[in-house]
Amino acid sequence: MQARKSPIAPLACASLLMFALPSATIAADKEVEELRAQVVQLSNSYEKQERTIRLLESRLAEMEMGQRGRGLPQGTTLAQAGQPGAAAADGTPGSAPADGPVVKEAPRSRTTETIVQEQHALFDRKFTLETGLTYTRYDRRQLVLSGFLALDAIFLGSIDLQQTKANQWTFDVTGRYGLSDRFSTDFNVPLVYRNNTYIEGGAGGGGATNFSDYELSKGPGLGDISVGGYYQFFKETSSWPDIVGSLRIKAPTGEHPYGIKLHNPTNNTNFAVPKDLPTGNGVWTSSIGLSFLKTTDPAVLFANIGYNYNFKRSFSDISSTLGVRTPGEIKLGDSFQWGAGLALALNERTSLSLSFAQLISRASRTKQQGAGWQRAIGSEANSAVFNVGLTHTLSDKLSVIGNVGVGLTPDAPDFSVGVKLPYTF
């Protein structure tokens, strides 16, 4: 006879399972919460480290741009200037995603640096030696009437045609050095060669159809040496240009034009030409100016304003009459100048620049010994020039800069052509 199975054992197992399952579930949930807390903790630690890295990278970028003479004001972070992907001052992420790359502004190309150096100033503690050669052409014609009108219609007297063809070659050496990230200095030493041809009507006592000519050369001789200093008031930001102030002094080291005598080298009684040609203006000149520059890749916009003050100077002779010696003083007219233009990068090595420059001079004055000041008639000037330049980078240290200037007013040169070779050490 089989024994009956007792239902107590299954019931006991079921009861144990009913009590064990909730305990296991609670333990698993607790483990999940612990793991979730560890993940959150690690995630927070990672975000803090990432914010610290971004803050350090933004600071490094500011310092690098400050050394290149551009970028943000000192103490301003990239995030404060609106740069994407940078950390703010309080350590919070910028506009880029937390796991996105940090976006930093690309450094200036060598071509852009050359443009900035020519139109503005660089403050990167590098010494640059620049040699240049410029040819300038003047061609002046004027009709001289010596006589009077009879009956308001008939001219009685002589009519002379005067023409001056002037050619000037200037070889100059310029050195630039950045003393700090905001201050730089330079010097310029020019050598000048001049060749003039004078043409005058009335040769042999004839009319305006009979001409005399005379050619006169000078040099090469030392011109007026100048030194200058540049201070960067504001560094370029995303919405504000570089602003640099300049102060320049030009010394009268060239041969001055005062006291050069006029003589008649031919049988033309109307002909009067100088016996020599000057290589400088003969007086001390100080210049103060401001220049503005904004890079908007691939273009660079620039503008400048300035004022030139000429100091009075005494000379032992200021007369141009042959055989006459007259001591006196000269005060050249002060001048105001301004200019603006743009440079466009054609590729990584070549750029094209277009600019306009104007210089307006006041009248000069002379004072003979024992007399008062006299205004020099016709000494006012308004010179406007349109320039086209081409810059090409030959290497990391050497560039070549070509420029053609076209005169827009009678007081400006007819045209000028120049080439410069700046070499950075």
pLDDT in tens, 113-166: 666 666 666 676 688 999 999 999 999 876 554 444 444 555 444 455 678 899
What pLDDT was estimated at residue 229? Answer: 94
What pLDDT was estimated at residue 50? Answer: 75
Round to whole Å and give the CA distance between 32 and 112: 59
Q: How far is CA 268 from CA 155, 169, 211, 272, 274, in A?
A: 22, 30, 8, 9, 15
Q: In whole angstroms, what separates CA 168 from the centre of its chain?
A: 24
What pLDDT was estimated at residue 107? Answer: 47
CB neighbours (10 Å) of residue 320? 17
Round to whole Å and give the CA distance between 18 and 24: 11
What pLDDT was estimated at residue 389? Answer: 92
What pLDDT was estimated at residue 295? Answer: 85
If we measure between CA atoms, which residue out of 87, 82, 112, 114 comes closest to residue 98?
87
What pLDDT was estimated at residue 154? Answer: 52
Q: How far apart are the first and last CA of the chain?
A: 115
Q: Do the Cβ atoms of 365 and 89 come closer than 8 Å?
A: no
What pLDDT was estimated at residue 348? Answer: 80
| Structure-derived torsion over alpha carbons of residues 49, 50, 55, 58, reported in degrees to the nearest 10 | 150
Q: Do the Cβ atoms of 176 and 230 come closer than 8 Å?
A: no
Round to whole Å and give the CA distance between 379 and 381: 6
What pLDDT was estimated at residue 243? Answer: 92
| pLDDT beneath 70, residues of the chain | 1-28, 58-59, 61-122, 124-125, 142-161, 202-210, 268-270
If we measure between CA atoms, which residue out of 113, 110, 124 comes closest to residue 395?
110
Q: List CB contacts of 35: < 8 A, sequence separation 6 or more.
A: none
